[in-house]
Structure 1
Amino acid sequence: MYDGTQRGNGTSAKMRVARLVDSYLTEVARDRNLSLTKFQVLAEALPESARSCDDGLYRAIDSYLKAHPTLSEHERKRLCRVMDCQKLSIDACMHAAQNERLPLRVVVQVLFSEQVKISNTIATNSLKEAGDGQYQPMISNRKTLLEGTPQSFQEGWATAKKDINTLKFELESVKAKYLELQNDMENLQRQFDKISKQKQTSAWTSGWKKIGQTH
């Protein structure tokens, strides 16, 4: 009989296999004789559901780009299509956003994904409500940029580059606000702990006074 435990074990097994495949890909990617097609076939051999995170796949792609510096823009885009930017962790996004080996279009997707992840983190921790509410992600503009065709990216290189720099500045602002809010929360927690300790001490003192009055 197939139950939830079996399903969970199956998912876990798929993830272990995905990690092994990605580790293998990272190793073979350093082989300069490995063709782009073979790399793609290996990367896409697993079902999409097998990878809950694409960090390992990103490392393999980066290794391939390092070992094959003569790839054309079209080939680099083709290579990166095996990766889902939305499945990258924030750390991987931060690395990819500054990775000059990646195509411009992929860098934009990574920056957009990172911005969304940070915004979601702030919302999840209820820190967004604690702020001044002035931060508004430029999501509509990012979607417009992401929907651009390859030709429009080439023709508008200067505009796209300027937009990336603007988004990087916005991300730094969001990170600074997140750290500031986190610090405020920690200060509030310390104050709360201090007040709780004072109340506890006061209760003990009051109790001892009552005991002293009875004797």
Structure 2
Amino acid sequence: MNAKARVARLVDSYLTEVSRDRNLSLTKFQVLAEALPDSARTSDDGLYRALDSYLKAHPTLSEHERKRLCRVMDCQKLSIDACMHAAQNERLPLRVVVQVLFSEQVKISNALANTTLKEGVGVESHQYQPPVLTNWKTLLEGTPQSFQEGWTAAKKDINTLKFELETIKTKYLELQNDMDNLQKQFDKLMLKQKHTSP
């Protein structure tokens, strides 16, 4: 781990600790979180933990304040586990949940497609077509009225995405397992060949 990453980890741990202080203002939390350059954090999992801890300790934040707080985090830098937690986290604004689901779905789809194409594993996951959130634009850009109109359909789409993420995660783990088994077989073969060759 390089020096910047170590500092980022330390800052995120500190943020998690101080986030529980009910007197810590939103602005101070943001300033601390944004003190590091984007390149310092290879993963935003630590920042997400701190952010979630802050939301727990400050349940009276308005929707606008919660959105403002979540801007410090890059959804694309969350691990699969953090994304699965965030997707079910009711403290997060809906906009952030939608962004998390989209970014994770894209990452998992790309990982599956790349693994399948590179390794030549006999699973047709590269043909996978992710479902589209039909109302995402309404949710992210619309007025409160259009937001309410699109909410029911969007909720169904979000549940579909959650199910798809679970399915893709399972397939990814199966592929990883297959790859590990193939590697072990290959290593055994190479070792056997080494011993039998003159």
Structure 1-normalised TM-score? 0.75
1:41-120 to structure 2, matched below 5 A, reads 41-120=31-110
Aligned counterpart, 2:113: 123
CA deviation profile, 1:196-215 (whole Å, cap 9, x unmatched): 788789x69xx9xxxxxxxx
SS in 1 for 2:14: helix
Q: Unpaired runs of 5+ in structure 1? A: 1-10, 208-215
- The 2-side partners of 1:179 and 1:135 are apart by 16
1:172 corresponds, among 166, 171, 174, to: 166
Q: Is 1:36 matched up with 2:29?
A: no
1:146-185 to structure 2, matched below 5 A, reads 147-149=140-142, 151=144, 152-185=146-179
Out of 125-134 and 157-166, give the one that drifted further.
125-134
- The 2-side partners of 1:82 and 1:150 are apart by 24
Moved over 6 A (4+): 193-201
Q: Is the 8 A contact 2:33 2:72 kept in 1?
A: yes
Aligned counterpart, 1:19: 9
Deviation of 1:58 (Å): 0.6
Q: Is the 8 A contact 1:112 1:142 kept in 2?
A: no
Q: Unpaired runs of 5+ in structure 2? A: none
- The percentage of aligned residue pairs carrying the same residue is 75
CA deviation profile, 1:115-164 (whole Å, cap 9, x unmatched): 12212322342368531254212368587467533634344221221110
- The 1-side partners of 2:128 and 2:135 are apart by 15
Deviation of 1:41 (Å): 1.5
RMSD: 3.0
SS in 2 for 1:100: coil
Q: How many pairs are equivalent?
A: 194
- The 2-side partners of 1:192 and 1:22 are apart by 41
CA deviation profile, 1:157-212 (whole Å, cap 9, x unmatched): 212211100111111221232233344445555666777788789x69xx9xxxxx
- The 2-side partners of 1:150 and 1:160 are apart by 15
Judged with a 3 Å threshold, the aligned counterparts in structure 2 of structure 1 residues 105 and 139 are, in CA distance, closer, same or farther, namely same
CA deviation profile, 1:17-52 (whole Å, cap 9, x unmatched): 222221111111101111111111111122222222
Q: Is the 8 A contact 1:153 1:160 kept in 2?
A: no
